[in-house]
Structure 1
Amino acid sequence: MKHKFNRKQIKEVGKITLINLLLLGFFVELGSLGFYLVRHNQLFYTRQRPSIEEMGLNLEGMRMEISIVERLHPYFGYAPKPGPDFRPGFKYNNYGFISPYNYPFVKTNENQFIVGVFGGSVASNYSIYEIQNGILETKLREVPGLENKELIILSFATGGYKQPQQLLILNYLLSVGQVFDMVINIDGFNELALSSVNNEQKLELTMPSASHIQPLTNLGNQSLSTKALESLLKIKQAKPRINQVVSNLKNCRMASCYTINNLAIQGLIKDYYQEVARFQRYQQIPDDDGGEGSVFLFYTQESVLPEEKALAKITDTWVRTSTVMNHILSAKNIPYFHILQPNQYHATNRVFSSEEKAIAFSENTPYRQPIVAGYPLLLNRIADLEAAGVTIFNGVNIFDAAPEIMYIDNCCHYTPAGEHILSSYVAESIKNILNQRLNPPNLNLANEPLTD
């Protein structure tokens, strides 16, 4: 009798547990539907599946199929390894840039209008967004002489690039026969933030980013510390896990599945970039022999420069290199446009929500102070660039009135809404300048000089 009672009791408990689990699953699914609706402004079950970028995932430079994504380059400092990219229609081309095309790109018809984009990861993302959305092409068709042009956007931008890399890459591409009808340079953040890291590492400010170049040279010199090697292994092991969760996220049939995997991948990506930052701290230039044992030559400094002196030198380089780019292109009648990119650490009138603050700011980042102290210096030198004939657009305030979240991380990268605002600002600004310069009104901008 006792045995039958216990079985019945267990059966009742099982029923109650099952009902509670079903109710829990129902409410989790209901909550997940609301989460998806708020984030993507569409119902989960009738959705058009968003791209990786639209999911708000920052996979910048995270190549899942290889462990070391960059290679030393004899002219550029470093360049990504050619290979596939997670974006449909794009690849890391023969030069390592994210593009549908190999370089040098040769026009297939005279109607094509080639726009070269230079800078770091923000410029690279701008190129991708432009190719996908054609905002610049639409605006340029409002310019007499360009109404029917087919814009070809060519990216010569890579994460971590900073001046004088843009200048050097431009010269190299011109030397191998790359044709341009227009050039856009989007920069400012990397010059200040990454050159300041160089200063802390006693690497000459105009050398490629220490954060990118030192891990490669240390691998080449076989001089990584045990901690750096352990960190590198963790980075390699993290990629398959991230790749698996991305796959799960794309294939979810229930909203709760999407929410759980979305939360999981946000944590994995955060851990990945923390490990990358840890690896960068562990790697060091060998200093037991002053670098004499290294097979790589880099110009170094005897000491860390005071912040004021370092930022002054960085700003001088920024002005000088952009001026030289303009001189080179002007001699070939190629319009050159320089954009100072917005960044969250430079205070403007933008009011950040608590949600965006959690995403966009970090007290521990080494980038905050160089931007806070350096952006006013760049802004003060805009007049010098203009006096030298450079057409520069000050984009630091373009996000001020936007209600959406603009930043995807605590560095410098933008959400799709932010990318749209940047692209629209660049397109409208360039269109207005070209229309002002037109005299007579039907000037062929690809073949004739532009005059102020």
Structure 2
Amino acid sequence: MLSTIPKQKRSWRRLAIRVIVVLMFTLVTAEIALHVGYAFYRPDLNFSALIDLQHNVIHNESPDRRAARTSVLHPYVGLVIDPTLNSKSNAYGFWQIDGPLLKRSSNTVIVGITGGSVARDLCTFSAETLRNELSRRLPDKEIRIVCLAQEGFREPQLAMTLAYFQTLGAEFDVVLSLSGFNEAVLHPAESRGDALWIGYPRDWDFRLRDTEDIELNRMILEGQTAQVQRKVWAARAYRLRQIPLLSLHGTWAAIDSVYRERADKVTARLIASRDRLVNRYANVGPGTRYESAELRRNAQCEMWCAGARQLHRLSRFKDAKFLLCLQPNLHDGAGKPLTTKEREILRTGSIYREWVIQNYAYFADAGAALRSEGIAFYDLRRLYDGVSSTVYRDECCHFSKAGNDLLAEHIAELISGEVSPRESRP
């Protein structure tokens, strides 16, 4: 029986089928290539990780220190996360775990963790590891953890934060300062000489962006526009998260990298243009000048020690234990066998390395001297010696999930040694 379909229609149908077959073949080939490529070159990046990245961009919750985490000025502690833009922070702008305004009782141990982004990451990634380890060591206690840390925090912000929360009514059994890197390294690496006072928060001169400089305002707008576009594209891709195609979400990752790089370049140009910011007291603080980098380091170290003394006094006055821990760092980790990934991180170079090498040992010695004043100081620089797995995740100071878990386990051991399980609270 002869077909009643006209030849022209049959040819169009065959063409459509061929196009569909070619597209399907291309899609399958692309999926296979992407799976193989990610497996070999980016094993940490899979479909689930891409969806998480989209969510983080939308909600400004990326743990990466370069992310445009939305922070706002705070009248007492400098800067906090804007809780209206980050669902994982509490009403006070700190990462939410427990509380944060808790009262002590006979069956609880409340641990407050202060410091910079490393302390914040300990709360973010390994709070449950710390809780479980402490519960195992102190089985008759309920462990509560309160995050008092923020990215970039350094003394005197740590002492100011504890005083602020205590004034609001928060009580603690243990206060832990996981710090030292920001005080020893951030200022000399990121601020030029004495342009910004060492006692002001990180990038404070840069944070006060009220300026009449047209070019600076244009750069600020350009950077903000790039971040808005990142959120727009992430939201579009996230709506398609039920479609498990790497080619689809990998395309989003490529687009996101363009806008992220654009925002990073704007940030670099803004940092290079610091001199054009209004050189006011509100921006840069007291015009203290140091004759050498060594004298500036000594002043920074003394501020770290003074902050530790104040944390110790504030804790002791409220009958809490205080622990000061100098955090480990990749550039000071001579005893750790480096993995391939960690060697690659070192090869990329770092603006922080020279300052870790120059300043870290001095801070360790100063911390050890605080023991004579009754301060429980622990030098954690050798914590990862002999650990063969990857624990460092970037060229700055941050750890992988495995690194944070090891840190949490060790800190649990230190805390349990300071807190007697027989102690009771009235």
TM > 0.5 fold call: yes
- The match for 2:201 is 208
Choose 315-324 or 19-28, whichever is displaced more: 19-28
Aligned length: 407
Aligned counterparts of 1:49 and 1:217: Cα–Cα separation in 2: 34
Give the distance between the partners of 1:201 and 1:41, measured in 2 at CA.
Answer: 40
Does the Cα contact within 8 Å between 2:97 and 2:123 map onto a contact in 1? no
Query: 1:118, CA displacement in angstroms?
Result: 0.6
Mark the runs of 5 or more structure 2 residues left unpaired by the alignment: 1-12
SS in 1 for 2:360: helix
Q: CA 1:297/1:278 → structure 2, altered by over 3 Å: closer, same or farther? A: closer
Find 2:286's aligned residue among 295, 299, 322.
Answer: 299
Aligned to 1:444: 423
**Is 1:179 aligned with 2:164?**
no
Q: TM-score, normalised by structure 1?
A: 0.75
Does the alignment pair 1:228 with 2:219?
Answer: no
Distance of aligned partners of 1:393 and 1:54 in 2 relative to their CA distance in 1, 3 Å threshold: farther
Question: What secondary structure does 1:186 align onto?
Answer: strand
1:81 to 1:184, Cα distance in 2 relative to 1, 3 A: same
Counterpart in the other structure of 2:379: 394
Structure 2 Cα separation of the partners of residues 310 and 124 of structure 1: 27
Q: For residue 320 of structure 1, what is the amino acid of its counterpart?
A: A
AA aligned to 2:286 is Y
Q: Which residue number corresponds to residue 238 of structure 1?
A: 226
Of the three residues 143, 150, 158, the one matched with 2:150 is 158
Counterparts in 2 of 1:318-357, with a 5 A limit?
Answer: 318-353=304-339, 355-357=341-343
CA, structure 1 residues 25+188, in 2 after alignment: closer, same or farther (shift >3 Å)? same
Q: How far apart are the structure 2 equivalents of 1:416 and 1:370?
A: 25
Contact 1:199 1:304 in 2 (8 A): no
Taking structure 1 as reference, are residues 176 and 414 closer, same or farther at Cα in structure 2, changes over 3 Å only?
same
Cα contact 2:196–2:284 (8 A) shared by 1: no
Question: Residue in 2 aligned with 1:257?
Answer: 248
Match runs of 1:180-199 below 5 Å: 180-196=172-188, 197-198=190-191
1:39-58 aligned at under 5 Å gives the runs 51-52=52-53, 58=63
**Structure 1 residues 264 and 385: alpha-carbon distance in aligned structure 2, compared to 1, 3 A threshold:** farther
Alignment of 1:274-313 (within 5 A): 274-284=265-275, 291=280, 298-301=285-288, 303=289, 305-313=291-299
- 2:358 partner letter: A
Partner of 1:106: 102
Q: Is the 8 Å Cα contact of residues 193 and 370 (structure 1) preserved in structure 2?
A: yes
For the aligned residue pairs, the C-alpha RMSD in angstroms reads 3.9
**Following the alignment from structure 2 to structure 1, what is the Cα–Cα distance between the partners of residues 346 and 175?**
30
Stretch deviating more after TM superposition (242-251 or 153-162): 242-251
When residues 408 and 167 of structure 1 are mapped into structure 2, their CA distance, relative to the original with a 3 A threshold, is same
Separation in 2, partners of 1:268, 1:361: 25
Contact in 1 for aligned 2:114/2:149 (Cα 8 Å): yes
How far, CA to CA, are the matches of 1:228 and 1:411 in structure 2? 27
Contact in 2 for aligned 1:57/1:266 (Cα 8 Å): no
Residue 372 (structure 1) aligned with residue 351 (structure 2): no
C-alpha deviation, 1:80, in angstroms: 3.1
| SS of residue paired to 1:280 | helix
2:303 to 293, 317, 322: 317
Aligned: 1:79 with 2:66: no
Task: Write the letter of the residue equivalent to 2:33.
Answer: G
Match 1:33 to one of 21, 24, 35: 35
Residue 414 of structure 1 aligns to a residue whose secondary structure is: coil
Q: Any idea what the Cα deviations from partners look like across 1:349-369, whole Å, max 9, x if unmatched?
A: 334455444446654x54332
| Change over 3 Å in CA distance of 1:141–1:198 after alignment to 2 | same
Between the aligned partners of 2:29 and 2:342, the Cα distance in structure 1 is 27
- Alpha-carbon distance between aligned partners in 1 of 2:257 and 2:328, rounded to the nearest angstrom: 24
Q: 1:15 to 1:54 in 2, by over 3 A?
A: closer
Distance of aligned partners of 1:393 and 1:109 in 2 relative to their CA distance in 1, 3 Å threshold: closer
**Which residue type is aligned with residue 230 of structure 1?**
R
Give the TM-score normalised by structure 2. Answer: 0.80
C-alpha contact (below 8 Å) 2:104/2:425 kept by paired residues: no
Q: Contact between 2:113 and 2:176, CA under 8 Å: does it hold in 1?
A: yes
DSSP-derived class of the 1:141 partner: helix
- Tell me if 1:117 matches 2:96: no
Structure 1, unaligned runs of 5 or more: 1-10, 448-452
Point out the structure with the larger helix share. Answer: 2
Which amino acid in the other structure matches residue 165 of structure 1?
A: Q
1:191 shift after superposition: 0.7
| Matching of residues 396-411 of structure 1 within 5 Å | 396-411=381-396
Could you tell me how far apart the structure 2 residues matched to 1:54 and 1:395 are? 34
Partner of 2:131: 137
One-letter amino acid of the structure 1 residue matched with residue 149 of structure 2: A
* 1:420 paired to 2:405: yes
Partner secondary structure for residue 296 of structure 2: helix
Q: Which amino acid aligns with 1:206?
A: G
**Closer, same or farther: CA 142–445 of 1 in aligned 2, 3 Å:** farther
Which amino acid is 2:360 matched to? Y
Task: Give aligned-pair identity as a percent.
Answer: 20
Measured after TM superposition, the shift of residue 183 of structure 1 is 0.9
Looking at structure 1, the residues matched to 15 and 201 of structure 2 have their Cα atoms a distance apart, in angstroms, of 66
- Cα pair 1:184 1:338 within 8 Å, conserved: yes
Q: Report the Cα distance in structure 1 between the residues aligned to 2:374 and 2:339, rounded to whole angstroms.
A: 39
